[in-house]
Amino acid sequence: MRIVIPDDYQDMVNQLDCFSLIGHHEVTLYREPARDLTQLIERLSKADVVVAIRERVEFSSALLENLPRLKLIALVGRNSKMIDFAACTELGIPVATGKSNSPVAPAELTLALILASRRNVALEAQRMQRGEWPCTLSHRLRGSTLGIFGLGAIGELVAQAGHGLGMEILVWGQSSSLEKAAAAGYAQAKNKRELFEHSDVLSLHARLTRETQGIVGAGELDCMKPTALLVNTARAELIAPGALLAALRRGRPGYAAVDVYEHEPIMNGDHPFLAMPNVLCTPHLGWAEWTNHELYFREAFEQIVAYEQGLPLRLANPKVAPRQLI
């Protein structure tokens, strides 16, 4: 089979141990995103199987209708808002999904961003490389308030780490988050505004849904402390478009650490956050570590093996009538 893996940003998929599961096939990998739909169709048009890495490619009906050979999409992860599942079903393209959802890697990155931003690690490392002196003053974590917006699996790990560093934990979110907070002995904000007002560090961990899209707006950001840090390793769309940039320019909050963006990847330094010394940016690294990749890609590749052997698949569109292999 011809297998195409678009958008291997780290240029490392073929270095994973689990790559041996599909190494006997004709596998083509691309590191840089396609510049437009035409080039994307050109890259995928001869594929029997496409490995969809998270949400890096939009599998729209316009794309899918131009992939006559495509028999299977193997999704890295459990779901994707970038796949038109109805179109896949209509065209006879099964979408096989992963089953794991490990919170460890994104939680670790969140903690790393909090520490690096509050203690000016990245800023001072860059200043030292440029030969600048003296250094800046940073902010201590112990005794400060860590706000957790959404105490799910990732939020729980971040809260535990913050508590271990001597931070006061303040939680707001759905009733399940507040119940978990009470059970763990964490303080619960009375409302969303109180969470933003009292947090010295505020970390977003809500799931992106229709209800949570844009749930953080100018009103919430404006009531943050001028010394506060907002951390977003969840989804950029949780914040209303342009609201964080405008708020940072107004000085509330005073700092941000961001791993997610509305349009990814960020190429050629083309984002206003990158010109702001009070913003620490990383290129969506939340899940990007070896153990995580071995887990998620192995599940995707195992689905390809199952398809090859005619075994049942874990399908996101179970009503599909699959195309037959040529």
Q: What is the DSSP letter of 108?
A: H
**For residue 274, how many other CB atoms are within 10 A of its CB?**
10
Query: Of 284, 293, 298, 299, which one is the catalytic site residue?
Result: 284
Q: With left for phi above 0 and alpha for psi between -120 and 50, is residue 259 left, alpha or beta?
A: alpha
Active site residue 264: yes
Query: Of 264, 289, 294, 308, which one is the catalytic site residue?
Result: 264
Q: What is the DSSP letter of 19?
A: G
**Encoded amino acid at 166, one letter:** G
Integer angstrom CA distances of residue 90 from 58, 84, 94, 95, 318: 17, 10, 10, 12, 12
* Distance of alpha carbon 79 from alpha carbon 99, whole angstroms: 9
Burial of 301 (C-beta count, 10 Å sphere; 0-12/13-18/19+): buried
Taking the CA of residue 298 as centre, how many other CA atoms within 13 Å lie in the half-sphere pointing to its CB? 10
Active site residue 235: yes
Query: Of 118, 198, 205, 235, which one is the catalytic site residue?
Result: 235
Residue-wise DSSP of 125-153: HHHHHTT--SPPP----TTSEEEEE--SH
Using CA of residue 10, residue 11, residue 15, residue 20, what is the dihedral sign? positive
Active site residue 118: no
Taking the CA of residue 166 as centre, how many other CA atoms within 13 Å lie in the half-sphere pointing to its CB? 6
For 124, phi then psi, to 5°, come to -75, -30
Beta strands in the chain (DSSP E): 2-5, 26-29, 49-53, 72-76, 95-96, 145-149, 168-172, 187-188, 201-204, 229-232, 255-258, 279-281
Question: Closest Cα partner for 173 from 141, 209, 142?
Answer: 209
Active site residues: 235, 264, 284
